[in-house]
Amino acid sequence: MRALLVVNHRATTTSGRVRDVLVQALRSEVDLDVAYTKRRGHAASLAEQAVKDGVDVVVALGGDGTVNEIVNGLLIDGPGPGVPALAVVPGGSTNVFARAIGLPNDWVEATGVLLEALRAGRSRTIGLGRADDRYFTFCAGFGLDAEVIRKVEQARRRGTTSTPLLYFRALAGQYLAPGSRTRGRITLERPGEAADPDLDTVIVQNTTPWTYLGKRPIDACPDASFDLGLDLLGVRSLHTPGFARTLGQLLMPDGMAPHSARLDRTRGPHGKSVLTLHDTAEFTLYADAPRALQLDGDYLGERDKVRFVAVPTALRVIW
């Protein structure tokens, strides 16, 4: 079996020692080549070349951004029988995709699981989401959460370490910024349904969780699954108290909620201030003014229209 290991040496927990141990371990099971990313987008190019070279497995050593690039490189011509399988060793700060497929967040333990899967020939085919012409593995955001990720990426480029506190500071800063809650509205359109023109920000999930707060998963759409269509949470207003209630439903586990609130809780955010959709094949979001877009935790700029499509049985993953 031929494999390509794509290493993002800039990833949060990746080091020369991690790489060397992983290379040695993988070479005990596969015929391995190693490539290193040099710039943003390079992992996609390496994965695209792996498809042309007939590689059997592409292993990502990095975070969710590296995984997303590799997926888009593998599927440059769409899903099909000639697409290599994907394997992941977590090397980022959050590693949502790796943890969503059941891998330990520790790279040593995850490497052990991967080696066992290679020996046993164990894999699974998963569905993906697509926003316009780009695939995503676990989540997308249009509006506030993408604006937060933009601020986090700016801070990381200045040398700030990615931590939950950094995201909270970015959220608070973006939420309180002048004009941030008066941006253009977002309209949801889907085939055969009336348009909903009254959204402030939208989160889309292809699986659970949406993200992690340290070790704790945070779910906007707790019923999302790799085996189903896309799930959506739309927030109608970013003004308090409605937004504060929605944020509390996201961040507060059931066990920490007051007893009276727990008696009436359902799965995920709910109430008049939110719109939720489950197992949806396609929909389009239109914004009155360009809004920030993120896929799998990577900021992709501003758009005034994004079409989302669920792509079933899109990619084989080794786990």
Q: Which helix (H) or strand (E) holds 233?
A: strand 230-235
> Does the pLDDT of residue 173 top 90, yes or no?
no
Q: Which range among 33-42, 216-225, 239-248, 288-297 shows the weakest confidence by mean pLDDT?
A: 239-248
Torsion angle, alpha carbons of 233, 239, 245, 247, to 10: 60
Identify the band that residue 12 occupies on the pLDDT scale cut at 50, 70 and 90. low
Check whether 134 has a pLDDT greater than 90.
Answer: yes
Return the sign of the alpha-carbon dihedral for residues 23, 24, 27, 29: negative
Residue 13: band (very low, low, confident or very high) from pLDDT cuts 50, 70, 90: low
Q: What per-residue confidence (pLDDT) applies to 248?
A: 79
Asked whether residue 151 carries a pLDDT value surpassing 80, the answer given is yes
Element at 41 (helix H, strand E): none
Confidence of residue 179 (pLDDT cuts 50, 70, 90): low
How many Cα atoms are found within 13 Å in the side-chain-facing hemisphere of 83? 21
Lowest mean pLDDT across 46-60, 98-112, 173-187: 173-187
Instruction: State which CATH number among 2.60.120.20, 2.60.200.40, 2.60.40.1220, 3.30.950.10 fits the domain covering 139-313.
Output: 2.60.200.40
- pLDDT, greater one: 251 or 26: 26
Q: Where are the domains of the chain?
A: 2-122, 139-313
* pTM exceeds 0.75: yes
Is 212 in a helix, a strand, or coil?
Answer: strand
Per-residue pLDDT, 215 = 86
Cα angle, residue 297 at apex, residues 9 and 205 outer, rounded to 5°: 135
CATH 3.40.50.10330 applies to domain 2-122 = yes
pLDDT at position 169, please? 84
Among all chains, which residue has been given the structure tokens 């920000």? 201
